[in-house]
Structure 1
Amino acid sequence: MKVRLLDPDWDFDPDAEEPDTGDDLRRDLELDFLWDAMGAGDGFLRAVARAATLRPATSPETVAYRQDALRDVLQNPDAVAGLYAVAMDALAVRRGILMMPVRGRPEITLSHSVRMLVQLADRLDTLRTLCAEVTDAFRSAAFRELFAIVARELDDAYMQRMRGQLTELEFGPGMLMSARVGGDGQVTRQILRRGKRANQGFFDRTPLRKPRFAFTIPERDEAGFNALADLRARSVADVSAAVHESTEHVLDFFRQLRIELAFYQGVANLRAALEDLGVPACIPEVTDQPGCAATALCDPCLALRAGTAPVGNDLSLNDGGLLVITGANHGGKSTFLRALGTAQLMAQSGGIVAASHFSCPTAGQVLTHGTREEDTELRHGKLDEELDRMSGLIDRIRPGDLLLCNESFASTNEAEGSQIALDVTSALVKAGVRVRYVTHMYDFAHAVQGAGLGAEFLRAPRDATGTRSYRLEAGAPLATSYGVDLYDRVFGTRLAQAGDGGGRDDPHTEGDTNAR
């Protein structure tokens, strides 16, 4: 039986290798806060959430398949919790049976497997009863197919036959086997036989039956007992292997059921955590069309870290090939960039997005590039390190991927950094890569306007007093990021008032500021 709650064609494997860029995504988007909320203290839920987020689906059809299942989960939390509890209970059966299979001892393996299957049969009965009770409440193809499989393959006749065969395999009346003696006197062609029911036929109750021959092994005949044990082991070897395989098959089904339900449980945990903070959450629209739109989009990781709802932003991109975000330092640029990246990952994983509305196309990969801390081992400078990481990204990036750049190449002077950024961004956009770029480099942002890249711009504003609203607005880049008024606020000076409210800031000072 197949679970297939996350994909109609394959089983989700949380232990599959993560992409090489997974750690950069975790650090740059602060995803630990997201996974902690999805796990809600359960390490297994957190691990599944991490795996699903870092390896999202790339097909709109698969995303829609998961979203339909998610709607069922959110509408039927008790039923889903019951299914998850049955899976957990079934997986606990192995831990409850002390005897373990022993390599080279098929009779012990058989006994262990039979004992497990007897208990697993009870869990299968519980599962099919629960599925029958809740079937009508679910609408998604994923859950209805799962319930149909359970009803079809675990019907009354099958369960009755299964329990009867397990009773036989306990060998209560003894073990019946047949064998022949070879030319060299060795036993050959051993076959395990099904035992006859007691007194089942007329001739079984009369003395007209053929004579039976028997032998008894003396109590101290160790060699005889070993020979008989060897005969038993050889007789049950094939059956033991088959029963053990059946046991693992049932356990694998419950294991996969737990894994795939765990993702939806994690999404439900995340939604509850965001609702407690007053953060909007929606099931997004994921298509294969260009453009991206959002209403009240915010960074869920910031909300979970700060314990309060951050300011949401709206977005409307037509082509969506290149978005450049400029404006006031500490005005919310980097936060919005993280919100976009997290929303893309959650949307494609089939989860929820921290927004009132969000729509986007699928991306083959979500990649990040930004500044890093100074290399304490002094192996290379910051610009060399940035160029090296960008080179690695370019080696793996493909058309249709999404690249998030946060103050990339700001570690050198503005003229050099702007030229590098323009060359790299132009090449990527022309190759079909979608780029979201947060920058304070006016030369770069201004050059993008005339580069024919179809760039769209957002700007982080501030009012005359230097207050940041954290609400981005459409607008061409300005020649200042208003870092001077931040300096005044921290050090009590009035440099901004002495001029025109903040002239062209020093790019190096701005680049070292952790913009929010």
Structure 2
Amino acid sequence: MMIFESILFDDGRLASDVDRATQPDFFGDLNLDQVIDAVVRGRDDYNLKPYFYVPLESVQTIAYRHDVSRDLERSEILHAVSRFAEQMRAMRVELAASEKMYYKWQKQRYFLDAVQRYCATLPEFASELEKAVPQSQGMTSFLDYLKAYVLDPAFERLRSDETRLRAELGEVRYSVLIKGSAVTVRRYAGETDYGDEVQQTFEKFKQGTAKSRSVDIREYPEMNHVEAHVLEFVAQLYPEVFNPLDAYCSAHAGFLHPVIARFDREIQFLIAYLEHVTRLRSAGLYFCYPVVCETSKAIHSTDGFDLALAEKLRLENETVVCNDFFLEGDERIIVVTGPNQGGKTTFARTFGQLHYLASLGWAVPGREAKLYLCDRVFTHFERQEDMKNMRGKLHDDLFRIHGILAHASPRSIVIMNEIFSSTSLKDALFLSRKVMTRIMNLDALCVYVTFIEELSTLGETTISMLSEVMPDALASRTFKIIRRPADGRSYALTLARQYGLTYEPLKERIRA
């Protein structure tokens, strides 16, 4: 049989490695924990969250996932995979029921039902997938593996033995004799069924429609002790049927092949995100498969947006504001300034989200994107002072930033969001210059959100972006972040106009 391991990884990554992964520290700052919750909702039985914690390390593996996702965007392939997943979910329910049942023979019947569904599902899935003609390396490799698996003699025995046992169980006939408190079970000996004869005899006494005396008897999956004893007696009467059933269940306890089980779980990671993307596309938003680079740091994004915020606004029927950015040549650091509540933090989150989502091999928000494959993402967002660590606000900022700079590399992405806000402007400028100089020396990509405009001209690797404000009386935020030199005057002038502090209104008041 040909070798196939994973629909998500082409680098030999083990499923156990994924399950040991833990949530990165920056998820909360970038609201990626909210994104994950929205994506995996309703799929708790797959335990998909660990896959979000394992970014890919090569553009080759990212391209591998892109191609599989493009296959899944084709309705015929998605239908085949969804039908397979539905049947596998039903099979797991039957297996779980088999494990929960108390009585042996009932457990084994549920087990037999699970095997039957498994054996029927895989050949059907192979046929449907082959008709859909997948194009990706991942899906075509899995299809080849699946076709070989269902033709393997071991699978054929699993299926044929199950069919034979089910047929033999269907031929079992027995009689139950009840006299007082005694119950006797014996082989069926051709006794006459008097049911029809009794009904015909009493039919002539029927006078109109009688009031129903039926009682609602609830059906429970678990047998009671009387039923269990009857079944035990039947098994003793037909050892030639029940002994092979017992042996079959023991021999095939692990019938679910690990490669099939892994595919069933991993494919949900891609389907869940595609369904989430479809919901947002229906709200008029764009997604694209980015170009991901391991060497060039010339990056750009058109109409990108914060994925967590977009889902929140979609549910509220609100409009999502998209933004662009680009870095070229030696540019590495985007310094974002502007008024509060203008979208600066959202822009910083968007930058981080886009790069991390790209490292998962997903389509990213926006019409077009070229992004950098980083080794790690580091974030510093403002936090409430924690009395447990016995550090003041400034001390805590410096402690966290020192940890970032000690571990960041030239391949890292660093996002600083309004740090040193607890100190004086002079001290904040001094400390920010020190931090930015370290980041510049690393040659790392960075978004630096700050109220200090001087930092946007600190060096040739920095560029300025600022949150745009409408020049109206209310100083309305547009939540657009535009690439423009920071001057601080446009917003100050808007505020001065809003409160009547420009030259002409002041002169009029002086005259008055």
Q: TM-score by structure 2 length?
A: 0.71
- Residue 494 of structure 1 is matched in structure 2 by 499
Preserved CA contact (<8 Å) 1:121 1:159:
no
Aligned with residue 256 of structure 1, among 256, 262, 265 = 262
Shift in Å, 1:312 = 1.1
Preserved CA contact (<8 Å) 1:93 1:120:
no
Preserved CA contact (<8 Å) 1:89 1:123:
no
Which structure 2 residues correspond to residues 398-477 of structure 1 after superposition, within 5 A? 398-446=409-457, 448-449=458-459, 452=460, 454-465=461-472, 466-477=475-486
Q: In 1, Cα distance between the equivalents of 2:87 and 2:126?
A: 11
Shift in Å, 1:384 = 0.9
Preserved CA contact (<8 Å) 1:90 1:254:
no
Matched, 1:10 2:13: yes
- For residues 362-398 of structure 1, give each alpha carbon's deviation from its aligned partner in whole angstroms, at most 9, with x where no partner exists: 0111221121123356822211111111122233323
Change (3 A) 1:495 1:419: farther
Q: In 1, Cα distance between the equivalents of 2:51 and 2:502?
A: 51
SS in 1 for 2:335: strand
Shift in Å, 1:72 = 1.0
Q: In 2, Cα distance between the equivalents of 1:405 and 1:482?
A: 23
Matched, 1:305 2:312: yes
- Residue 214 of structure 2 is matched in structure 1 by none
Matched, 1:291 2:302: no
Q: In 1, Cα distance between the equivalents of 2:413 and 2:505?
A: 38
Aligned with residue 344 of structure 2, among 333, 336, 357 = 333
- Residue 119 of structure 2 is matched in structure 1 by 124
- Residue 510 of structure 1 is matched in structure 2 by none
- Structure 1 unaligned segments of length 5 or more: list them: 102-107, 173-238, 502-516
SS in 1 for 2:300: strand
- Residue 35 of structure 1 is matched in structure 2 by 36
Change (3 A) 1:318 1:53: farther
Aligned with residue 161 of structure 1, among 144, 157, 163 = 157
Change (3 A) 1:87 1:366: farther
- Residue 281 of structure 1 is matched in structure 2 by 287
Preserved CA contact (<8 Å) 1:87 1:254:
no
Shift in Å, 1:251 = 5.3
SS in 2 for 1:473: strand
Shift in Å, 1:122 = 4.0
Change (3 A) 1:383 1:495: farther
Preserved CA contact (<8 Å) 1:278 1:309:
no
Count of matched residue positions in the alignment of Structure 1 and Structure 2: 415
Aligned with residue 139 of structure 2, among 143, 149, 161 = 143
Q: In 2, Cα distance between the equivalents of 1:500 and 1:322?
A: 41
Q: In 2, Cα distance between the equivalents of 1:28 and 1:499?
A: 45
Shift in Å, 1:34 = 1.7
Preserved CA contact (<8 Å) 2:343 2:481:
yes
Q: In 2, Cα distance between the equivalents of 1:10 and 1:114?
A: 36
- For residues 247-301 of structure 1, give each alpha carbon's deviation from its aligned partner in whole angstroms, at most 9, with x where no partner exists: 4362534432232111112112211221232222222221223211111111121
Preserved CA contact (<8 Å) 2:98 2:108:
no
Q: In 1, Cα distance between the equivalents of 2:250 and 2:443?
A: 52
SS in 1 for 2:120: helix
- For residues 161-204 of structure 1, give each alpha carbon's deviation from its aligned partner in whole angstroms, at most 9, with x where no partner exists: 3346679999x9xxxxxxxxxxxxxxxxxxxxxxxxxxxxxxxx
Q: In 1, Cα distance between the equivalents of 2:251 and 2:401?
A: 48
Q: In 1, Cα distance between the equivalents of 2:251 and 2:349?
A: 47
- Structure 2 unaligned segments of length 5 or more: list them: 169-245, 507-512
Q: Which deviates further from its counterpart, 33-42 or 261-270?
A: 33-42
Change (3 A) 1:425 1:244: farther
Q: In 2, Cα distance between the equivalents of 1:410 and 1:119?
A: 61
Shift in Å, 1:417 = 1.6
% identity of equivalent residues: 22
Shift in Å, 1:158 = 4.0
Q: In 2, Cα distance between the equivalents of 1:157 and 1:353?
A: 44
- Residue 61 of structure 1 is matched in structure 2 by 60
- Residue 349 of structure 1 is matched in structure 2 by 360
SS in 1 for 2:409: coil
Change (3 A) 1:115 1:299: closer
Q: Which amino acid aligns with 2:86?
A: A
Preserved CA contact (<8 Å) 1:296 1:356:
yes
Change (3 A) 1:150 1:378: closer
Q: In 1, Cα distance between the equivalents of 2:504 and 2:269?
A: 55
Matched, 1:70 2:69: yes
Preserved CA contact (<8 Å) 1:402 1:434:
yes
Preserved CA contact (<8 Å) 1:365 1:402:
yes
